[in-house]
Amino acid sequence: MGTKVTLAVADGTNMGAFVACPVATPRPLPGLIVLQEAFGVNKNTREIAERLSAEGFLCIAPELFHRTAPGKEFPYDFEAVKPHYMAITTPGLEADLRAAFLWLQNEGVKSIGAIGFCLGGRAAYVANAILPLKAAVSFYGGGIAGELLERAKDQRGPILFFWGGKDAHITPEVRKPLFEALGAAEKPYVNVEFSAANHAFFNNDRPSYEPASAAQAFALAKAFLKSNLA
């Protein structure tokens, strides 16, 4: 079972976060910042954190909407969350990521990674550019190859990207500049596309869920994180 904690953020705000801790795993633990979709730290996000904690990771899932909708979970309707999504600023996001990272460090965690989905996939990429992460996993992160392309050269740990081949918005053409930038900067990455999957294929509470792709992605992500955070 997970617990709720409150983190002090450098900009003076307080941020709620969900924590899932392994029960019978030798210490010290590796840690993961688990980053939400655009609908809050909801049941799906909490379940992902708990699944990863069962694999031996101390997980913290920060509430990225804490400035405008603290503690709130939203239905799967982007129009409902758009004001909160648009209110996220890069400095604010970076402060939130640093607060989550510091919490893990204060728990004695020395080997830390990040994993995120959609909005969280973008946030995991940002985290890997500003924090000394050992690895990051980004599921269908939107907007990375736009205004965040310059962050490619700053990636700290190896990063694993997952995409849906049926995603009409984040197409291979949209993603191409990202991998050109990572290659030019000689940053280690893995790029995986599931041809049968759409956007948000990992979320089993949404119609876009694609079980086979989700199962394979979890196995790959788990192996990638364990290998790099060991």
Active-site annotation holds for 77: no
Active-site annotation holds for 96: no
Q: Can you tell me whether residue 19 is helix, strand or coil? A: strand
Banded pLDDT at 205 (limits 50, 70, 90): very high
**Model confidence pLDDT, tens digit, residues 53-103:** 999 999 999 999 999 999 999 999 999 999 999 999 999 999 999 999 999
Q: Which of 59, 84, 96, 167 is an active site residue?
A: 167
- Rounded to a whole number of angstroms, the distance between the first and last alpha carbons of the chain is 24
Residue 58 structure tokens: 């101390």
Q: Which residue has the tokens 């291979």?
A: 172
**Model confidence pLDDT, tens digit, residues 6-43:** 999 999 999 999 999 998 766 789 999 999 999 999 99
Banded pLDDT at 107 (limits 50, 70, 90): very high
- CA 199, 200, 202, 205 dihedral sign is negative
User: pTM of the predicted model, to two decimals?
Assistant: 0.97
Q: Which of 59, 77, 118, 169 is an active site residue?
A: 118
Pairing, β 135-139 against β 112-117: parallel
Q: What does the domain layout of the chain look like in residue ranges?
A: 3-229
Say if CB 27 and CB 10 are below 8 A apart: no
Active-site annotation holds for 167: yes
Percent of the chain at pLDDT exceeding 90: 95
- Identify the pLDDT of residue 208: 98
Q: Which residues pair with residue 94 across a beta bridge?
A: none
Domain at 3-229, CATH from 1.10.10.10, 3.40.50.1820, 3.40.50.720, 3.30.70.20 = 3.40.50.1820
- CA 145, 132, 156, 135 dihedral sign is negative
